[in-house]
Structure 1
Amino acid sequence: MSTDSRGLLGPVEVRELAERLDVTPTKKLGQNFVIDPNTVRKIVRLAGVQAGDHVIEVGPGLGSLTLGITEAGADVTAVEIDHRLAAELPRTAETMQPGIFAGPEPRLRVVRSDALDITEAVLADLPARPEVLVANLPYNVSVPILMHLLELIPELRAGLVMVQAEVGYRIAASPGSKEYGAPSAKAAWYGGWRIAGTVSRRIFWPVPGVDSVLVAYERRAEPRGTEEERRLVFELVNAAFAQRRKMLRQALQPVLGPLDRVVEVMTAAGVDPTLRAEQLRIDDYLAIGRATG
């Protein structure tokens, strides 16, 4: 493999690695490898990654984004489902950035796993809890992965994920917008989300058939509610958006019970029972949840 003098992977390095490993990007795993070092540095910069940060990355692939994060001086826990890519990543990192494993603690750790299978036990084996999420998330499971990690790692203070544009706009959507849905409301439970930028299809190999955006996250200063409240709120959100064309007094009956009970709870919460799912902020759903007690 030829060496990029800047310590990052370019188109030549990515293709050489893929050929040597006999890796063909698959739609099943949502694989599209980033081949543009300038975009990698842009992502790391927009994520606010600093030296000493502990970053969790999902789907590092051949290591393009991983190397950008370590170049910034952060430590990375990379979660990779493909056993060939997981085995090769440390070798790639050492080749592109010699000395990355020279310190008392390795600056890169690779966890061979499906991100949805990451548990507290896996995190307990790390020398420090991740505090920043940076990832080029697989298109087909980006929302489930994001929700799983936000729930599992409350210490995540910030993040930047690259996702399919349609998904990104949905995550960052505000109440009342056409994109606002269950993922928007649930994401808002944890903190603020915004579209931080767009990326060209041409920075990927293979070139995807959809556009991508960068979505930035900043954790709330204080938790919005307890874990028990979160579970109830998410149950309410699921019920509301499962029947989003109906008024909430009808849609929430599977969770809250008969119509008169729903109206009673929503009135106590100060929420109009004739509203629909997309008109409520996450705090409105929390108010409904608290009114059930």
Structure 2
Amino acid sequence: MSAKELFERIRQFDAYPKTLEDFRVKTFGGAAVTIISGLIMVILFVSEMNYYLTKEIHPELFVDTTRGQKLKINIDATFPKMPCAYLSIDAMDVSGEQQIDVDHHLLKQRIDNNGVAISETPEKPDLGDPSQKLVEVVTKPLDPARCESCYGAETEELKCCNTCENVREAYRKKGWAFNNPESIEQCNREGWTEKMKAQKDEGCKVYGYLEVNKVAGNFHFAPGKSFQQHHVHVHDLQAFGGQKFNLSHRINHLSFGQDYPGIVNPLDGLKLDAEQGRYKLWLTISFC
């Protein structure tokens, strides 16, 4: 069987025979129908594809019967007028648990007045702990077995204060104000005051997450070392010489629990600029 005969037999299966070119008539109406039909087919195809790729979210309300598990709070906030060395974050809830200077996987990024990062590597000290990563000005090696003074704030648990932060912690437990760091040898050795002055005109970006109990409570950002005194939550600002603080901020992202596609976080992108002379000293966010 020749190839021509094979093609002739295959053509017999054509269910849509074409008319001869001599009998075809092209009109303006036919062209319009063709164009409109093509557009409709494209629109239907795109809409169906979009519907197929869109995730459907079905909200459900149920009672959480788990115990001992923590709630994850994802945070990304920028404070253009608040230095990282000054900023602390605390969390407390109705069960009575209080977390002072929370550092649950939180990072601090120093930024300038334009929001540009000063250092590419973020720091991860305890928030509100300005004694970390200080420039050492020690002229001689320190004895690892030394036991330096806590300047009258010694306790049974903390008898030696070998760093500036140890002294601050001892003062915090005693409920004393840390208002004269220049007179403390450890702080002078670590350059605590110099760092406060160096970061005076900087800002801070805090991001990461913290974990809290699954009960009603709140967490807040505020300047100064926090401590408890007579069941009152206090922030010690004496060490900063009575200067004013501007807690203007932008919440880049704030969510609770695991993120999933399509979720809407109402506080994302919220920006608040404190007016001159009406500065807020804290930013509080409640959870439950």
- Answer 1 or 2: which has greater strand percent: 2
Establish whether TM, by shorter chain, passes 0.5.
Answer: no
Q: Which has the higher contact order (CA 8 A, sep 6+)?
A: 2
- Answer 1 or 2: which has greater helix percent: 1
TM-score for both structures, normalised by structure 1 = 0.26
